[in-house]
Amino acid sequence: MSFRDLHRIGDPFILANAWDAGSAKMLAALGAPAIATSSAAHAFTLGRPDGGHVTRDEALAHAEDLVAAVSVPVSGDFENGFGHDPDVLAETVRLSAEVGLAGISIEDAAFPGDEAYAFDTAVERIRAAAAAARALPTDFVLVARADGVMNGHYDIEEALRRIEAFDEAGADCLYVPLPKTMDDLKRVIAITKKPVNVLVAGPYAQHSRELYAAMGAARLSLGSALARVTHKAIHDAGIAMFKSGDFTALQNAMPGGAVDKLLT
């Protein structure tokens, strides 16, 4: 099934965000129908914080590694597209397709800060990216994100205005990360006939796939949440070891042979 065909409204697939070739291979072996990069999780592997600290060349090389590691489609979590100018976004789309990505997501946050682009600028950026995607020789799924609610720069009304405009500008899938309420999420899903991505992180991780399906979601992504689960394991085991000399957390380790099986 193609990456685009996985996006079925009311029957959401889990887009598993990986952070290296090993995690991508494990997730695919466990049943993930598609893999995505995570800008935050990738930054963590480089010893950097989230938010505009990875270059486009680094992100593309990382994405290419994941594409080579698995046989399922891979999508790129590419922040603001690595530049402010619409032409830069168009080039990012073309380069993404060249390394084998099935799609990318683009935020309306003006990195290296998280302030939102002005409305007209945000729409023009998505229009340029969509035009570049449609000109590709291969199918490519462009996701347009309205991040201002999550980042605290605008309210749900503005988010709805933006994704409606992104829809008209040619985005294939719409995405408002972490609306403040489930009712707000319902409004996001209802405002478009196109697929909507839901970030299953924070309070949204307490709900089931079945609930999101009933709401009409088409895609459930993990962001950096799964990577941060592993970081919590490192943190908790490290505190126990270095503060108390307690190694019992290591008893919960997955057997090496089981890991090997998933990787092969």
Quick one: pLDDT band at residue 252, thresholds 50, 70, 90? very high
pLDDT at 200 over 90: yes
DSSP string, 29-43: HTT-SEEE--HHHHH
> What's the token pair of residue 228?
């941060």
CA-nearest of 159, 93, 82 to 128 is 93
**Beta strands 173-175 and 103-106, pairing class:** unpaired
pLDDT at 158 over 90: yes
Q: Left if phi > 0, otherwise alpha if psi is -120 to 50, otherwise beta: which for 81?
A: left
pLDDT at res. 51: 85
Q: pLDDT, tens digit, for every residue of 145-156? A: 999 999 999 999
The Cα-based distances of 180 to 26, 187, 208, 214 in angstroms read 32, 12, 18, 19
Arithmetic mean of pLDDT, 230-259: 97
pLDDT at res. 52: 82
pLDDT at 77 over 90: yes
Average pLDDT, the chain: 97
Arithmetic mean of pLDDT, 108-118: 95
pLDDT at 1 over 90: no
Coil, strand or helix: which one is 14?
A: strand
pLDDT at res. 19: 98
According to CATH, what is the number of the domain 9-226?
3.20.20.60
Coil, strand or helix: which one is 241?
A: helix
Phi, psi of 102 (to 5 degrees): -90, -10
